[in-house]
Chain A
Amino acid sequence: MSETTGRDLPGEHGQPEQAAGDAAQQADGPVAPHRVIGTPSPAEARVMLPERDQPPARELPADPDDPVVAKKAERVVAVCFVLSMLAGLGFIAAYVIFQVHTISGTRNSNLALGTTMGLAFLFLGIGATIWVRRIMPQVEMTEERKPLASLTEDRAEFAETFREGADASQFAKRPLLRRTLIAATVPVAVAPIILLRDLSPLPGTSLDHTVWRKGMRLIVYGTNRPITAAEFSSPGGMITVAPEGFQDDFDAMAKAAVIIIKFRPGQLFFGPHVRPGGPTREGTVVPNWTVDNIVAYSKICTHVGCPAALYEQTTHHILCPCHQSTFDATRGAEVIFGPATRALPQLPITTDAQGNLVAQGDFNQPVGPSFWERS
């Protein structure tokens, strides 16, 4: 190998006394002393670089390839560094000048800070690159990579130390100590698993229910007005509704959001369900929980819970924008395309004495994506 890598190669070892620069080993003589556990290994006393008889030849010439080009480039680099310095000063100035207490102020501040900091780093980088390319001499050098494995003697040393330590501890000879030690560590190791139970209160049955209750009025989300079947009378109509009193409760709305859709008479399908053109699913029944051809579905997709409300009044498809799950609104919102596996839950609705649309109760099944405990 080359002289720069010296003696530190596995395969060239096996005779530790050959290590020329190892002062500690020379002082102790060629025979390694019996080591006491806990004292430093003599191997640590080795020097990292080999001794050299004479300084090596210079690898990088001190002068540029072309002094004229270098002189020009020097000015360019200096200009870049000055510009970088000015941009850096501009960053400080922008931080002081642009205040952030309004939206437009924050926008201007971000723009000014980002621009000045970007220019500062950009000119610094351009300057450094021109410096390297035009002023420093262009030399290609190859440096061999050192082996990644530890030295053979270090590994042997470690194995010996470990064996000696194991013997000295009498871990193998004294089973009582060994077993009680293991028993002592088990509870501490198990404790973090027990602590997990306090990360959060368990959800219990909260995922199974929403805030919808019997008699709760459907209010148009946004205007917060209750709506009657007579008002929501145009076939092809669709609107997002909320349970009255919970329209501003985002935690509740995350599960309770509902869309209602108005159909023409005869468009909605109820009863025992045979999927047209597809496999028959035994026992599937589309319930009639509608009022005057108005049907209410959960707005929360059963795949991963995106708001699925892209309703097409021509095809009666409800499309979820996240993963293109498509539901047939005329047939109990059964899945006709996409990754969702369950129909959108239907909210049973009826009317109260004033004709307002109200819920008959909660959804008959949990809304949204599946979860472990879902029955």
Chain B
Amino acid sequence: MSWITARRRHPAAGYAVLLLGLLLVGAAYAVITGSGGTAAASSPTPANAAQIAEGRNIFEAECATCHGMFAQGQAGIAPSLIGVGAAAVDFQVSTGRMPAAENGAENVRKYPRLDTRQTHAVAAYMQSLGGGPAIPSAAEVSTSGANVGLGQQLFTADCAQCHNFVGAGGSLTYGKFAPPLTQSTPTQIYEAMLTGPEAMPVFNNTTILPSEKRDIIAYVTATRAEPNPGGVSLGRVGPVTEGLVAFLGLLLFMVLAALWITAKHGKRQVGPHGESES
């Protein structure tokens, strides 16, 4: 402590405190906004009567308040779930969007309330009500041997307008937004394309073939491993944040440099003709 006390009036002390404060704020921000939990990859199990019965119990406890006792939906509150299929249920529940916390513009990803077994039970119950797209198997979402190049081309043409070129997400109208794909599992990406959750369009298996969906998944997951030039991603939302950070950083540096260059420290004032005035 005496080391600090001895130097607290040092000319550089102010700059040091300022820099320390900036670093602390940045570090705190990074910790607070850091990664949340990632859902475990789910794989479907064959449905049976016991699983459907369990799913029905869970549905009546967790979902029926909004979606109705028979999944028929309530006008203005929640849509009917007849025919949405197991894939839609698995996507919504495994990403934590359902059960929803509130009726807002967009349900956000959060830690899932139901575990994988419960999720699959509810999905099996929904599948038994009206059919629909099934949960893809692990083989269906495997990216081994996928054509990442074609995946990029498809992603750029049909996904990047909302989800950003590397899946960082983006905003839509009236408070809705396309979420970042950084935490999505291959199964969830496949299910989202197949079922079109919320505002997202549907990309069915006859428009974008299952193999092409695997190519897209391969591209989305491959971009995560891409190194960030300079070491910091800055959200990967493009040149706006990068320019802002460069601008503010360089501005701070130049202000500090200007302060240092022009700061007074001389002990005497000398008049214009050399006579010492102090």
Contacts and interface: CB of A to CB of B under 8 A. Distances in A.
Interface of A: 56-61, 65-66, 107, 125, 129, 132-133, 137-142, 220-223, 227, 230-240, 261-262, 307, 309-315, 317, 319, 321, 324, 326, 337
Interface SS majority for chain A = loop
B150 A227 contact: no
Contacts of A262: 202
Given A57-B273, A234-B204, A312 B199 contact: yes
Which of B157, B170, B178, B267 has the most CB atoms of chain A within a 10 A radius of its CB? B157
Contact of A137 (B263, B264, B270): B270
Interface stretch (B54-62, B68-76, B206-214): B206-214
A58 B274 CA distance: 6
B215 to A, nearest CB: 9
Given A138-B265, A237-B201, A314-B198, A223 B176 contact: no
B28 to A, nearest CB: 29
9 contacts: A138-B268, A222-B150, A222-B154, A237-B203, A309-B158, A312-B199, A313-B196, A314-B199, A317-B173
Contacts of B101: none
B238 to A, nearest CB: 11
Nearest to B194: A234
B261 interface: yes
Range class of the B interface residue count: 35 or more
A236 B265 contact: no
A337 B266 CA distance: 62
B191 to A, nearest CB: 14
A222 B196 contact: no
A129 B174 CA distance: 53
Contacts of A66: 267
A236 B206 contact: no
A263 to B, nearest CB: 11
Interface of B: 150, 153-154, 157-158, 161-162, 170, 172-174, 176, 178, 196, 198-204, 206-209, 212, 229, 257, 260-261, 263-270, 272-274
Contact of A65 (B161, B202, B268): B268
A310 B172 contact: yes
A135 to B, nearest CB: 12
A97 to B, nearest CB: 19
A141 B274 contact: no
B106 to A, nearest CB: 10
A231 B209 CA distance: 10
B208 A239 contact: yes
A210 B75 CA distance: 44
A107 B263 CA distance: 38
B81 to A, nearest CB: 15
Nearest to B164: A321
A141 B274 CA distance: 10
Contacts of A240: 157-158
Top 10 nearest A-B pairs (CB, nearest first) are A138-B266, A238-B201, A231-B206, A312-B199, A234-B204, A222-B154, A222-B153, A234-B202, A240-B157, A236-B202
B261 A129 contact: yes
A315 B199 CA distance: 7
A308 to B, nearest CB: 8
